[in-house]
Structure 1
Amino acid sequence: MSQKPLILVTNDDGINAPGIRFLIDVMKEIGEVVVVAPDSPQSAMGHAITINSTLSLEKIKNTEVPEYACSGTPVDCVKIALAEVLDRRPDLCVSGINHGSNSSINVIYSGTMSAAVEAGIEGIPAVGFSLLDFSWNADFTHTRPYVKKIAEQILAQGIQKGVVLNVNLPKENIKGIKVCRQAKASWEESFDKRLSPHGKEYYWLSGQFVNHDVGEDTDVYALENNYVSIVPVQFDLTAYHAIQPITNWDLKDVD
């Protein structure tokens, strides 16, 4: 009898977030599931790891699948899952479903995607799922067939080495799936300066997402038109096109 695929599930919103609970339920239909996720919200942690303090790992009791709550970041969760929890190499790592979009430049800050990237670095096919709804009570029901289909296709087809998938899901009324590029966008940020009751200044980061891209082949365009977007993301950050121009600089005879 063939062994079921082993699927590692993680996220950045925390092990109790509705998004990961839904994702676990979907993945149980596909394979053997093990969950290692943060014990508290770790949004926008990017690829941070814990090096200046200890990590704790608690096995959650009375769960249908093995679940572990980690005190660290999403990337810590993947690292400790591979090193200490799993008894064999996972066939797939799924991260999410994030409460809120991780399209365009948001992929840089996303703990959801960084967990997937960490798995990809280890040569494990990986995908991050995000829903265009920041509400804790978001409805994920309509995403089930799309999440399941994409995960099944990754297991069946594989992903090119050095690539992970960034999947963003519309809030409602999904029309289909589009394979896209990342939109060129940015955050116009500001800091709300306030004064504590003790007279100490503090700041709240705020900002507005601005899409500078008019292309119809981007993840932002797909979401705006109610399509699931799939963006292949590479974690080799080398700008190969810039190597040759820099080799022409005068870098000899440095005093």
Structure 2
Amino acid sequence: MRPLILVTNDDGIKAGGLESLVKVLKTIGDVVIVAPNESYSGMSHAITVKTPLYAKLVKEKEGLKLYKVNGTPVDCVKLAINVLLERKPDLLVSGINHGTNSSISLHYSGTVGAAREGALNQVPAIGFSLLNYSYGADFSEAARIAEHVVRSVLNDKLPAGTFLNVNIPDAHPVKGAKIARQSKGKWIEEFVEREDPRGRKYYWLTGHFENMEPEAKDTDEYYLAKGYAAIVPCHLDATNFNLLPYLKEQNYEL
């Protein structure tokens, strides 16, 4: 039996990254795409609870189905696993995203949020992102890296409760792929203040990313700058185990 691969993204069903990803995944297994009907970038792990969800089958042929959903990437994963699929997928793949989700950005990412939801459902999951925001980005190298990582995960599996966040530089060719840790960084946020025709103030969120450890040589930001894809293993357990003994010593317990 060919592996069943669930695919989603946060850029919507017409995104070039999704199309490039599906082309390589079809050579590996049967693909079911359940993706948002429009862009839901920056949604992280958001879910829809106040309005109904609709899933429309857009395309169906041997080895491929495409659904569009009026919800977030995580909505798409939940709906696929609980309603649309006949069996649990062997792998969930999210992306390929237009733009980076390295360092602290993974916490805001709808692409990574979908992969996290896969892990919550005991499905091996990977999020892919390309460091290029343009509509006409060339995803050929990103798709090549994605195929390599997907085949590796299907062959070797992932421990329960884990998923991969893979970022790929906008390089031709990409030098290779390296295992890395999430770099420490932050977004320097700025709000541009403007006024609408009725005299009401409104704000646009802007800003720029700052790498807080530019000298570190084991991070995703380091390898991306060197022309390598960065594979960061992530897990669901948010416990800070190093802090447990300290809190117990400081009389936090009753």
Q: CA deviation at 1:4?
A: 0.1
Q: CA deviation at 1:250?
A: 3.4
**Where does 1:1-255 land on structure 2 (aligned, <5 Å)?**
3-61=1-59, 65-173=64-172, 174-213=174-213, 214-251=215-252
For structure 1, list consecutive stretches of 5 or more residues without a partner in the other structure.
Answer: none
- The CA RMSD over aligned residues, in Å, is 1.3
Q: CA deviation at 1:243?
A: 1.6
SS in 2 for 1:68: strand
Give the TM-score, by structure 2 length: 0.96
Q: Percent identity, aligned pairs only?
A: 45
For structure 2, list consecutive stretches of 5 or more residues without a partner in the other structure.
Answer: none
Give the TM-score, by structure 1 length: 0.95
The amino acid of 2:14's aligned partner reads N
Number of equivalences: 251
8 A contact 2:94–2:114 mirrored in 1: yes
The amino acid of 2:176's aligned partner reads G
The amino acid of 1:162's aligned partner reads G
How far apart are the structure 1 equivalents of 2:202 and 2:236? Answer: 35
How far apart are the structure 1 equivalents of 2:216 and 2:149? Answer: 24
How far apart are the structure 1 equivalents of 2:150 and 2:59? Answer: 27
How far apart are the structure 2 equivalents of 1:207 and 1:252? Answer: 41
SS in 2 for 1:60: strand
For residues 56 and 185 of structure 1, do their structure 2 counterparts lie closer, same or farther at Cα, with a shift above 3 Å needed? same
Kindly provide the CA deviation profile for residues 72-126 of structure 1, in whole angstroms up to 9, marking residues without a partner as x. 1100000000011100110000000000010000000000000000001111110
How far apart are the structure 1 equivalents of 2:179 and 2:252? Answer: 42
> Which piece of structure 1 moves more, 179-188 or 60-69?
60-69
The amino acid of 1:35's aligned partner reads I
The amino acid of 1:15's aligned partner reads I
After the TM superposition, which parts of structure 1 deviate over 6 Å for at least 4 consecutive aligned residues? none
Kindly provide the CA deviation profile for residues 219-253 of structure 1, in whole angstroms up to 9, marking residues without a partner as x. 01111110011000112111111122222333477
How far apart are the structure 2 equivalents of 1:155 and 1:251? Answer: 44
The amino acid of 1:9's aligned partner reads V
How far apart are the structure 2 equivalents of 1:136 and 1:166? Answer: 22
How far apart are the structure 1 equivalents of 2:144 and 2:56? Answer: 32
Q: CA deviation at 1:63?
A: 6.0
Q: CA deviation at 1:172?
A: 1.2
SS in 2 for 1:105: helix
